[in-house]
Amino acid sequence: MKVTETKPEALMQVRDIVRHFSGPRTSFFGPRKVAHAVNGVSLDLYPGETLGLVGESGCGKSTIGQLLLNLIEPTSGSVTFLGQDITKADKTEWRRLRSEMQLVFQNPLGALNPRLTIGKQIREPLDIHDVGDEAGRDSKVQEMFEAVSLPPHLLARYPHQLSGGQQQRVVIARALIISPKLVVCDESVSALDVSVQAQVVNLLSDLQKKLGLTYLFITHDLSVVRHISNRIAVMYLGRIVELADSETLLENPIHPYTRALISAVPVPDPRARASRAVIKGEPPNPFNPPSGCAFHARCAHADTQCRTHLPEFRAIGEKHMVACHHAEALVGKSNTDAN
Amino acid sequence: MKRASKETGSTNPTTPRGRLPIRRRSLVKRLGLTGEWLVTAAMIYIAFILFVSVFGFLFQPYPHTQTNLFNQLQPPAFMQGGSWEHILGTDDLGRDVLSRLIKGLQLSVLIGVIGTAIGAVLGSFLGIVAAHFRGWVEEILMMLVDVQVSLPFIIFALAVLAFVGNSLTILIIVVGIDGWERYARLSRSMVLSANQQDYVLAVRSLGLSNTKIYSRHVLPNIMGTLIVQMTINLPGVILLESTLSFLGLGVQPPLTSLGQILGVGRDYLILAPWIAVAPGLVIFFLTLSIAIVGDWLRDRLDPTLK
């Protein structure tokens, strides 16, 4: 299962990707404010793996998803897909590349055209990319519909006539019908009930095994991500602060932010409350990011170095990357010690 | 009737009782009517008007220009002094009012329908262009819209007709331009919000071309509103034509339209009210019927309400 251990060729390589959004002008003739939504992120996605990308609202995780699919253009940096730099790909190349990577949305009802039947919408990718003939497309739609375990009579229905879980299955079916290699799931289960969430997560991992898919699973929900991810990356204000195998990251987090996130997941044990690390304050404004380590203002371990110098994203132990000046000191130490 | 009770949603489990309706209640329902019979009546009336304007010449008792100076201002058949020779009476030149009404209706409906179509196509297209290109294209188009809104259209129409001269084609184009700014604003804002929808992003990320995104995904979703806007605008166009003809700048004799008959009838309002009342009633019921059907259509064209 751990594809990462065999060190295969990466499916997608992201190098130092940056995306700025311009905001309002500072004064009438002044320059525009710039939000650093994504500020130098590097990632590798290996075939068949699921990389979980977690972080709080506004940290840029959805922007990364859209950057990978080129739905928005990066300000700088490169994205390489199967050896090809896709940030430089032209229109015709993108038409082909579109079928290789797909997006599964957060709100399934919004992701479906209210005026087209389910069947027509699942079929649409085949029509767009001219896959097979008429009959072939119809049978492929049926097949896919079965694969996401939906009853065939729903094909003639409209999106609003389905439940949220069914709608999300339809969105998944539409994304997978052209057999993409990479699927970006942007908060794909966040809008669903917990029980339906579990069904959809299981469906996603079954389909991954069957079809050999690679997922980038973007979520703010750690309890979901631990079920599906092989590796987890934690983002804070446009940068990745920690990246490791799921177990390593969840059992032995190093970065203080990761520790706080993990301890915020509810544990059904009243005594566990005592050892919780609580993050102070609000997330910083991306138009005016703090100097040095972006997390220093809310970190219990912060010192002068943290306020002035950006920590390097470096390996601590095997396949465990952290961006923290105190990473070595924090290994093995519980989070509350410093308090 | 049966269907009406179903549609009000009392049996629909997805809309719990006591929840505030988000949509404005339709005119029909605000009038406290169950609606179905009124819509049916309005549709029958519209169908009748369309039939008369297309095939009316078959039943026209007299040519609409035939004068009879010995038979001026004869009352309709159901009034004292009337005769069945002229069911709706005659006007100041002894012309048969019914014949003129049929002829006038033909032209009014023609101008109304073509004029509305011109405004709808032009306005929606410009609105979509503005929303697609954004930037300076949008700025300029929306500036034109603001100019159009701030200018009383009737003044604009009078000016154009007075300077360019009058012909049926120019009249149709002028009344057609009326309302383009409403379509432009409407379609621009709807396309802007549709472009933010995930389903548009989804097909875009599938690599669908812009023309197909608009024709297959965006247009069908905004069409309902545009059609309703057309039904709101159509009576306005008919009334505008009537106003211009009433003022003498619209349809010129020997052609006639409802507004022109109305304008002539104004001079004899006390002496021979039937000349003005007949076209007035036709216009009144036509605009009302179109508005009722438009309201009903708005509900029917939304698949989430079926």
Alpha helices by DSSP H, listed for A71-133, are 91-98, 118-128
Does residue B22 fall inside a structural domain?
A: no
pLDDT at B122 over 90: yes
Q: How do residues B238-274 score in pLDDT, each as one tens digit?
A: 888 888 887 878 787 778 888 888 888 888 888 888 8
Q: Mean pLDDT of successive 10-residue segments in chain A (339 residues)?
A: 54 88 77 83 90 86 86 87 84 83 86 88 87 84 88 89 90 89 88 85 90 90 86 90 89 87 76 64 78 83 84 84 85 55
Residue appearing with tokens 């009344």: B175
| Nearest-neighbour CA in chain B from A240: distance (Å) | 25
Kindly state whether residue A164 falls inside one of the protein's structural domains: no
Is residue B77 over pLDDT 80? no
CATH number assigned to the domain comprising residue A328 = 3.40.50.300
To probe the interface with A, which of B14, B193, B206, B217 has the most A CB atoms within 10 Å? B206
In a domain, B208, yes or no: yes
Q: Is B169 on the interface with A (CB under 8 A)?
A: no
Nearest-neighbour CA in chain A from B206: distance (Å): 5
Q: How many structural domains are present in chain B?
A: 1
DSSP H helical ranges for chain A: 61-68, 91-98, 118-128, 134-147, 164-176, 194-211, 222-228, 246-251, 256-264, 304-308, 327-330
* A332 in a structural domain: yes
Kindly give the pairing relationship between strand A12-25 and strand A32-45. Answer: antiparallel
- The C-alpha of A29 sits at a distance from chain B's nearest C-alpha, in angstroms, of 19
Between B305 and A203, name the one with better pLDDT: A203
Q: Is residue A41 part of a domain?
A: yes
pTM given for the model: 0.75
Residues on chain A bordering chain B, Cβ-to-Cβ distance under 8 angstroms: 69, 71, 94-95, 98-99, 102-103, 105-107, 110-116, 124-125, 128-129, 158, 160, 171, 174, 178
In a domain, B13, yes or no: no
Determine the residue type at B171.
L
Q: Quick one: pLDDT at residue B120?
A: 92
Q: How many domains does chain A have?
A: 1
Q: Which of B207, B217, B221 sits opposite A95 (nearest CB)?
A: B207
Domain extent, residue A272, equals 9-23+33-100+180-338
The ipTM assigned to this model is 0.74
Q: Which residue of A has its CA nearest to B216?
A: A116
Give the Cα-Cα-Cα angle B123, B126, B127 (nearest 5 degrees).
80
- Which residue among B205, B220, B303 sits closest to A158, beta carbon to beta carbon? B303
- At B6, the pLDDT band (50, 70, 90 cuts) reads very low
Asked whether residue B257 is domain-assigned, the answer is yes
pLDDT band for B78, please (50, 70, 90 cuts): confident
pLDDT value for B66: 76
Answer for the pair B26, B298: CB distance below 8 angstroms, yes or no. Answer: yes
Q: How confident is the model at residue B12 (pLDDT cuts 50, 70, 90)?
A: very low
Q: Looking at this protein, which amino acid is placed at residue B56?
A: G
Say if A110 falls within a structural domain.
Answer: no
Res A319: pLDDT: 82
Contact yes or no for B49/B286 (Cβ under 8 A): yes
- Among residues B105, B45, B79, B63, the alpha carbon closest in space to that of B274 is found at B79
Give the pLDDT of residue B82.
67
A217 found inside a domain: yes
Strands A12-25 and A76-81: antiparallel
Task: Please indicate, yes or no, if residue B275 is contained in any of the structural domains.
Answer: yes
pLDDT of residue B5: 41
Interface-testing mutation among B198, B200, B209, B226, with chain A (most A C-beta atoms within 10 A): B198
Q: Which residues does chain A have within 8 Å of residue B13's beta carbon, measured at their own beta carbons? A: none
Neighbours of A319 (CB within 10 A): 14
Q: Where are the beta strands (DSSP E) in chain B?
A: none
Residue predicted with more confidence, A220 or B80: A220
Q: What local confidence, expressed as pLDDT, does residue B27 receive?
A: 57
Written as one string, the DSSP assignment of B234-248 is: HHHHHHHHHHHHHTT
Any A CB within 8 A of B304 CB? yes
Q: For position A83, what pLDDT does the model report?
A: 82
Asked if B198 and A95 come within 8 Å (Cβ–Cβ), the reply is: no
Judge whether B270 is closer than 8 Å to chain A, CB to CB. no
Distance CA A249, CA B293 (A): 63
Residue B20 lies in a domain: no
Residue B203 in any domain: the answer is: yes
Contacts across the A-B interface (CB distance below 8 Å): 61
Is position A127 within any domain?
no
CB B146 within 8 A of CB B295: no
Q: Is residue B14 part of a domain?
A: no
Domain of B240 in residue numbering reads as 37-305
